[in-house]
Structure 1
Amino acid sequence: MTLADLRAGPEPVLAEVDGIPVSGLRAVAEAPRAVLVAMHGGATSGGYFDCPGHPELSLFRIAHRLGYTVVAPDRPGYGASAPFADDLIEPERRLDLMFGAVEAFLGDRPRGAGTFLLAHSAGCEQAVRMAVDPRADDLLGLEVSGTGHRPHPDFVRAFEARQRDDRTPGVGALIWTPERLYPPDIRGGAAIGAPGPRMEATALRTWSSHDFPELAARVRVPVRFTTAEYERVWRGDPEALAEVGALFTAAPRVVLNRQPNSGHNISVGHTAAAYHLGVLAFLEECVVAAVTGEFTGPTPQFDGGSAPSGR
């Protein structure tokens, strides 16, 4: 694959779902292996998965080049749906919007073996809810990153300091460190930033303590959980990884991956291509498993060179 192969980027798309406009990006393969649906994190948009100025890092371009259709809606309260954010607080309303958007973005286009969900950070709340919804009846698998069950000590300290004095650096500083892991023009987020809705804080209030464990136990497709080596919002040590893996009690396969030389914003760092290729390898395994009916597990498996010893 050459850089020239990656020059064709995704197209912007706009759909209306029950009177609410939803914007996003789409890259359609003529005869796709499967459809990859990507859910961005907080304070960004679907453009997070097409790293501006760096086509070699783009999930869209790599996945499309390898034969997958990719869609990345702007999540509820972002992009075109921002004016309707206050009407989208209830999880069911947001689920309706995202399922409707994916259907509208794809239309009658072929979908290959089925759909695969990928989510980052705050987008994991949306994706895991979608994964356990009956409407996800063709779901092949699930990839989540930038989330967790236990907050990182650095996050706790930053949050408490901010509560005491709003002049101190906020939690946002943690997601762009170490700086060496990101291209200079991406570092800090200005190139990929988007206004986030106030209602998102409400949606995430009980995510790690209640919603994530409850929903994870209901996921019945293969799961790959990735933490960045330098993640500072969520714990990513071996014990924390094993604890997250144990939440997915109904999944036929759980792969735990610690991505080397990566920070929280894993899809726009220097190692984004390595991460995306790992996701696509897992997706391809899910495609084969769906076709053959073969799954492995449910014992969590550790992937990659950063796997804890003894596994």
Structure 2
Amino acid sequence: MSKTAPHPRVVMVDGVPMSALVAEVAEPRAVVVALHGGATTSAYFDCPGHPELSLLRVAVDHGYTVVALDRPGYGASAAYPDAMARPEQRVVLAFGAIQRIAGAADLFVLGHSMGCELALRLAVQQPEVLGVSLAGTGRRYHPAAQELLKDASPVNRPRGLRELLWEPARLYPPDVIGAGLSAGGTAYEGDVVKTWSRQDFPALAGQTKVPVQFLAGEYENVWESDTEALAAIGAMFTAAPRVQTGELPDSGHNLSVGLTAESYHRTVLSFADECVAHRARETGKTEVEVEAR
């Protein structure tokens, strides 16, 4: 099987097995690290039965290697909750897995929903990260979503959650909703939810020093994402050299498995291209300065 086709990998990081779906090119422009949201897995980025929606397949055609990681607590690492209770543990596990799979390379990180927490921590802490794209998150819940989610937990999925995450249904292929994508949640995510929108998101945003893309579906039902909300989110990234925000037409919360997934992924990859070029300019500038001295 060609390495460009999505294939599973499992690597050991500090005694914890970390799994991923991987698609590789021989000389990648960079490595796209894709981090799924809650209650799903890396399959979210290579939707079963729908190769036309796959991030991995379009990205390799664009010259990128992709590591769609099963976030700590999912996939092969699900049986090791004590090894990922703290944020710094999750960063070590994720970055260790990325290094073992893709080696030393520039990284572009894509986070969706709950995956945005780990995406931003990687962007802040790892100099290898040259840019980050976030979606499916925000600063304020829609009032209806806040009411529904107030008692939600990894073991308590409130009635109406499916409709919240998957409506309008016309935005998705009929066989996709819930098909082969669901997984149990993790214990630490309850703590993440409690502090994310009010504390951790703004704190991490202010420390992010790479270009940032923030996208929201036109029919994002969980988070407020109107023009005012997007402007407020963009304003949090005070240290980033560039912030791009935007709304994706005819798209819902689950962008990577909707009918507009290919367009969304190409928008992300176009931003990744800009981040690669930005890093190259910065590296070239530094090298010239060193030579001048």
* Alpha-carbon offset, residue 120 of structure 1: 0.2
* Alpha-carbon offset, residue 160 of structure 1: 5.6
User: Which letter maps to 2:212?
Assistant: V
1:15 aligns with 2:11: yes
Pick the aligned partner of 1:173 from 144, 163, 176: 163
2: CA distance between counterparts of 1:168 and 1:201? Answer: 14
Pick the aligned partner of 2:143 from 140, 143, 153: 153
What is aligned with 2:246?
257
* Alpha-carbon offset, residue 161 of structure 1: 8.8
In the superposition, relative to structure 1, how do residues 31 and 236 fare at CA in structure 2: closer, same or farther (>3 Å)?
Answer: same
Pick the aligned partner of 1:143 from 115, 133, 151: 133
User: Which letter maps to 2:107?
Assistant: T
User: Which letter maps to 1:43?
Assistant: A
In the superposition, relative to structure 1, how do residues 61 and 97 fare at CA in structure 2: closer, same or farther (>3 Å)?
Answer: same
Correspondences of 1:239-250 after superposition (within 5 Å):
239-250=228-239
What is aligned with 1:121?
113
* Alpha-carbon offset, residue 177 of structure 1: 0.3
What is aligned with 1:200?
189
How many aligned positions are there?
Answer: 280
What is aligned with 1:185?
175
Which moved further from structure 2: 230-239 or 79-88? 79-88
- Aligned partners of 1:38 and 1:70 also within 8 Å: yes
- Aligned partners of 1:159 and 1:170 also within 8 Å: no
SS in 2 for 1:13: strand
* Alpha-carbon offset, residue 194 of structure 1: 1.5
2: CA distance between counterparts of 1:195 and 1:274? Answer: 29
SS in 1 for 2:251: coil
What is aligned with 2:122?
130
* Alpha-carbon offset, residue 168 of structure 1: 6.5
- Aligned partners of 1:162 and 1:170 also within 8 Å: no
User: Which letter maps to 2:74?
Assistant: Y
1: CA distance between counterparts of 2:229 and 2:133? Answer: 17
SS in 2 for 1:206: helix
- Aligned partners of 1:86 and 1:199 also within 8 Å: no
- Aligned partners of 1:125 and 1:204 also within 8 Å: no
Pick the aligned partner of 2:221 from 222, 229, 232: 232
What is aligned with 1:61?
57
In the superposition, relative to structure 1, how do residues 35 and 93 fare at CA in structure 2: closer, same or farther (>3 Å)?
Answer: same
2: CA distance between counterparts of 1:157 and 1:19? Answer: 40
For normalisation by structure 2, the TM-score amounts to 0.91
1: CA distance between counterparts of 2:157 and 2:15? Answer: 41
In the superposition, relative to structure 1, how do residues 233 and 292 fare at CA in structure 2: closer, same or farther (>3 Å)?
Answer: same
- Aligned partners of 1:182 and 1:268 also within 8 Å: yes
User: Which letter maps to 2:82?
Assistant: D
- What do you get for the CA RMSD once the two structures are aligned? 2.1
In the superposition, relative to structure 1, how do residues 249 and 167 fare at CA in structure 2: closer, same or farther (>3 Å)?
Answer: closer
1: CA distance between counterparts of 2:52 and 2:158? Answer: 35
Measured against aligned partners, the alpha-carbon deviations of 1:253-306 in whole angstroms (never above 9, x if no partner) come to: 000011110010000000000000000111111111121239xxxxxxxxxxxx
2: CA distance between counterparts of 1:168 and 1:23? Answer: 29
Question: What stretches of structure 1 of length at least 5 have no aligned partner?
Answer: 1-7, 295-311
User: Which letter maps to 1:145?
Assistant: A
SS in 1 for 2:85: coil
Measured against aligned partners, the alpha-carbon deviations of 1:26-50 in whole angstroms (never above 9, x if no partner) come to: 1111111111011010111111100
- Aligned partners of 1:181 and 1:261 also within 8 Å: yes
Pick the aligned partner of 2:212 from 193, 207, 223: 223
- Aligned partners of 2:31 and 2:102 also within 8 Å: no
Work out the percentage of aligned pairs sharing the same amino acid: 51
* Alpha-carbon offset, residue 25 of structure 1: 0.9
- Aligned partners of 1:145 and 1:225 also within 8 Å: yes
Pick the aligned partner of 1:83 from 79, 82, 87: 79
2: CA distance between counterparts of 1:162 and 1:78? Answer: 18
What is aligned with 1:106?
102
What is aligned with 1:211?
200
SS in 2 for 1:203: helix
User: Which letter maps to 2:165?
Assistant: I
1:93 aligns with 2:94: no
- Aligned partners of 2:149 and 2:158 also within 8 Å: no
